Structure 1
Amino acid sequence: MVKAAVLDRLWTRMSERGDFPMLSQSLRTTMAAMNNDDLDFTGLVQVVLSDFALTQKVLRLANSAMYMAFGGNITTVSRALMVLGMDAVGHLVVGLKIVDHFHHSAPRRIDAKLELNRTLLSGCVARKLTERGDLRAGEEAVVCTLMRQIGKLLVVFYLDAEWDQIRRHIDDGTLEADACVLVLGVTFDEIGAEAAVRWRLPDMIRSGMGEFDPLDVEQPRQVQWLRAITNYSTAVADVLTQQNMPDWEREERIAELAQEYSHALNTDPDVLHGMSIALAREEGGDGVMREIVELRANADAIAREALNPEARIAAGVGDLRGLPDGSALAPALALAAETVLAALGFARTVVFVKHSNGTFKARLGLGPKIDAALPKLSFNTAFEPDVFHLAIANSVGIFIENARDPKMVARLPEWFRRSFDDARAFVLLPVVDDTDQTVALLYGDWSHTQEPRRISQKEMSALNELAKELGRFFGLGQMQAMEMM
């Protein structure tokens, strides 16, 4: 029950970004076309033709040397489908759609880029392993490999603040899987499995995403083979992208993996080892490893910048500015709330939005157990001698350094004290529209379990800039849409 609630909340958060539902619909359409019993593949043709890059990829594959016996010079997607087969093209579409989606989702962040490239590299390993065999099975193996890591990608790309918390646990020595459970209450694998269900991927792919166990004799041979490729490819990609690992240790670890998986993959360990090392040496060319190496080379500098709250807030301002005028309000609110939460290491953030009846209501919140509190968080614009009414009358943010001081407690509204009795310090950022009206209020706090700190003048200036940029999204249309929610 808890897992289902967490996953539903996670999916809502991802949907608020706006682009995620488009990926889901595209994948469902692809799978529906593949599973059509009467073999009318018009739907799959339309999916391919809707994407120019995808069309070129399918046509190039159909005209490759492997398929010259079918006549060559294939110029239509329909003919390519006849040559390559529905399953092969369908799996190719699924893999490319997933990769393309994440390429365009969060291009600015170093950790997101590294995780995506690690996933792409694992796909390269899987494709190398299967390139001389059946095309359908090979593309299916690539999709399984990508999907095995989809849970982690979704967290990294869509839940910035939670991912930062997970990384802090990992830095303190917690295993990655355990850290995910500590923060989210579910594992990366469970999130990936839920994605596969919601995208209606076939049972074989969902099974192939699983953990490989060489002693498991109950699984069908095809499932075991897919799991072996998926797990080997993922493990090799992890080793190849490990930072600060000496070359001798890297080669030694890959040799161990090759030995471990050679029987399941029916491939000589030396062949497996050589293929993997060859991928690692692509760094001088145009392969995936080249970008990974470049990202790793800059990782330390970028990591230092990531620890700088002012720089992180500035990056969030840049992301907001990158959204076009007329964009939906919900993704902008989520982006601003996550930026503030992650940049300052807050326990939680809440965005209050003003409604036409003069009430500020909590629209979105991030942090532990925040969803249950949201319905209770609201206040009217009619003046009250408290800090929230002071904030909405202000043009810049205010920082309350000691929320537990008796004099300050007297200035806190009762609804706030009931819901956030553990707040140690907090910030309130008024969001003003183009008519100079306060239309929203951004709240973020540190709880009494966290180390006390102050917000510097430069950080407050950056926060005010973020709130100012957020005001751009409060047009009439967006406000009416929010009223209906």
Structure 2
Amino acid sequence: MLKAALLDRLWGKMSERGDFPMLSQSLRTTMAAVKNDELDFTSLVQVVLSDFALTHKVLRLANSAMYMAFGGNITTVSRALMVLGMDAVGHLVVGLQIVDHFHHSVPRRIDAKLELNRTMLSGCVARKLTERGDLRAGEEAVVCTLMRQVGKLLVVFYLDTEWDQIRRQLDAGIAEKDACVSVLGVSYEEIGIEAAVRWRLPEIIRTGMTAYEPARDDESRQAQWMRAVTNFSTDVANLLTAADLPVAVRDARIAELAQRYSRPLNTDPDVLIEMSISLAREEAGDGVMREINELRASADAIARESLVPEERIRAGVEDLRALPSDNALAPALTLASETVLAGLGFDRTVVFVRQNSGTFKARMGFGPKVDAVMPQLSFASAFQPDVFHLAIANSVGIFIENARDPKMVARLPDWYKRSFGDARSFVLLPVMLDNQSTVALLYGDWTHTEELRRITQQEMAALNELSRELRRFFAHAPVGELEML
């Protein structure tokens, strides 16, 4: 359920921006032309010629040093196809279309630009790795390598809230794969495979973009080689672009990769090491490494351009509004909770949902060690003189600036102090239906901050708007769904 909802929302966001349908159609046209061989020679030429920038890139690559022996001075796309072959040019075009799509989709965020450049660098590694072999297989491997990163790129470019949450988990020391599944309910690889299916890329590319597993007996040698190329290229690009990684450590890890992949790539480990490290020495890939370094150097300036908390929360409200009222309640609550978490940089969020018994129980939460205390997070709706009961009787949110003030500590229930005794400040957002009954309560907090944090009036207004938007999902929730969350 969560996986389907996430993928539908992702593709909906892409369609809203108007660039996804265009990319899908051009990729499908390109792959159809490649599959139909001579009959669609003209179609593939037209795909390339329809875009001046694409024409320039195809001709430039066809005349680059790695292809010189095959054609010499190539001045037309038709000649490039004749010399390099339909498959090679077709996959070359697909790779360029994918990269261009993200180039033109990018917001100003530094993390989006860095992830795109890391992907481009992995393509550079794959092309360098395969330049002495079969052109068709080489360009196919480049597409596989780019597609291996597409799932992550789609999240970075189109799901700001979820990406911010993933980054917070990474900062807390959680492995990226685990953080991705925790936040999205689906892996980057699964998203990438879904993209490959929707773009109708061939089976060999869908196979080649997945994780490498040595000594598999159920696949062809070509598939094993393709997986090895894409995984080695991706891992090398990640090492070359890792922040604050000492050169000696980087080179040692590259050497480990070279030993692991030497056999499936049929290449001496020393050759793999030299090729990889040379990409760092020479600013390879049309200046990809140089641009990565420049982006890092100006990271602080670019970061200041990012959305302020109020705007992040309102963006989450718009995402909620885009969901139909009969949408499953769990995805709506997940989106709201992550919006609160990422928008204000909270350490934790929890969603309490009122059960038929009248008890408010924690049904989902994000942040360090939240899962461990979830069973202890509940309270009866019958009045008690504490801040939680004040919140569920209120129509707007409540912000507690200093949860450690003795007067406030006296208003905190024991179950809360046992579980969240490290909270410094927190907010409570009631979700109240038109009949004035509160059906849910959103909680978010800051913990070990050196100074007290505050929520502005504008931010609280945006939070209240978010909780009001949640009403309709509860109003339309099927009988029994609240108990099943």
TM-score with structure 2 setting the length: 0.68
Q: Which residue of 2 aligns with 1:10?
A: 10
Q: Is the 8 A contact 1:282 1:290 kept in 2?
A: no
Q: Which residue of 2 aligns with 1:370?
A: 332
Residue deviations 1:42-73, cap 9 Å, x none?
22111101111211222334445676677755
Q: Which consecutive residues of structure 1, in runs of 5 or more, have no partner in the other structure?
A: 317-335, 354-360, 375-400, 424-446, 464-485
Q: Does 1:175 align with 2:175?
A: yes
Q: Does 1:223 align with 2:223?
A: yes
TM-score with structure 1 setting the length: 0.68
> Which letter maps to 1:422?
A
Q: Which residue of 2 aligns with 1:421?
A: 439
Structure 2 CA distance, aligned partners of 1:81 and 1:134? 15
Match among 340, 343, 365 for residue 313 of structure 2: 340
Structure 2 CA distance, aligned partners of 1:39 and 1:350? 45
Structure 2 CA distance, aligned partners of 1:202 and 1:416? 54
Q: Which consecutive residues of structure 2, in runs of 5 or more, have no partner in the other structure?
A: 337-387, 398-429, 448-452, 463-485
Q: Is the 8 A contact 2:432 2:439 kept in 1?
A: no
Q: Does 1:196 align with 2:214?
A: no
Structure 1 CA distance, aligned partners of 2:220 and 2:214? 12
Structure 1 CA distance, aligned partners of 2:431 and 2:223? 59
Structure 1 CA distance, aligned partners of 2:276 and 2:155? 28
Q: Percent identity?
A: 66
Q: Is the 8 A contact 2:70 2:84 kept in 1?
A: no
> Which letter maps to 2:149?
Q
Structure 1 CA distance, aligned partners of 2:226 and 2:40? 28
Structure 2 CA distance, aligned partners of 1:402 and 1:294? 52
Q: Is the 8 A contact 1:350 1:362 kept in 2?
A: no
Residue deviations 1:320-371, cap 9 Å, x none?
xxxxxxxxxxxxxxxx6xx3367xxx7x666669xxxxxxx97999996218
Q: Which residue of 2 aligns with 1:481?
A: none
Residue deviations 1:153-211, cap 9 Å, x none?
00000001110011112222221111111111110000000000000000111111111
Q: Is the 8 A contact 2:91 2:139 kept in 1?
A: yes
Q: Which residue of 2 aligns with 1:267?
A: 267
Relative to structure 1, the CA distance from residue 246 to residue 417 in structure 2 (aligned partners, 3 Å threshold; closer, same or farther) is farther
Structure 1 CA distance, aligned partners of 2:282 and 2:2? 44
Structure 1 CA distance, aligned partners of 2:163 and 2:42? 40
> Which letter maps to 2:116?
L
Relative to structure 1, the CA distance from residue 407 to residue 164 in structure 2 (aligned partners, 3 Å threshold; closer, same or farther) is closer
Q: Which residue of 1 aligns with 2:360?
A: none
Structure 2 CA distance, aligned partners of 1:212 and 1:122? 15
1:144 shift after superposition: 0.4
Residue deviations 1:120-140, cap 9 Å, x none?
111110011011111111100
Relative to structure 1, the CA distance from residue 406 to residue 115 in structure 2 (aligned partners, 3 Å threshold; closer, same or farther) is same
Relative to structure 1, the CA distance from residue 188 to residue 77 in structure 2 (aligned partners, 3 Å threshold; closer, same or farther) is same
Q: Does 1:448 align with 2:443?
A: yes
Q: Is the 8 A contact 1:31 1:201 kept in 2?
A: yes
1:422 shift after superposition: 3.0
Structure 1 CA distance, aligned partners of 2:61 and 2:98? 19
Relative to structure 1, the CA distance from residue 38 to residue 173 in structure 2 (aligned partners, 3 Å threshold; closer, same or farther) is same
Q: Is the 8 A contact 2:119 2:149 kept in 1?
A: yes
Q: Could you say what secondary structure the match of 1:422 adopts? A: strand
Q: Which residue of 2 aligns with 1:299?
A: 299
Q: Could you say what secondary structure the match of 1:138 adopts? A: helix
1:456 shift after superposition: 2.3
Q: Is the 8 A contact 1:126 1:230 kept in 2?
A: yes
Matches within 5 A, 1:432-471: 447-451=442-446, 454-456=454-456
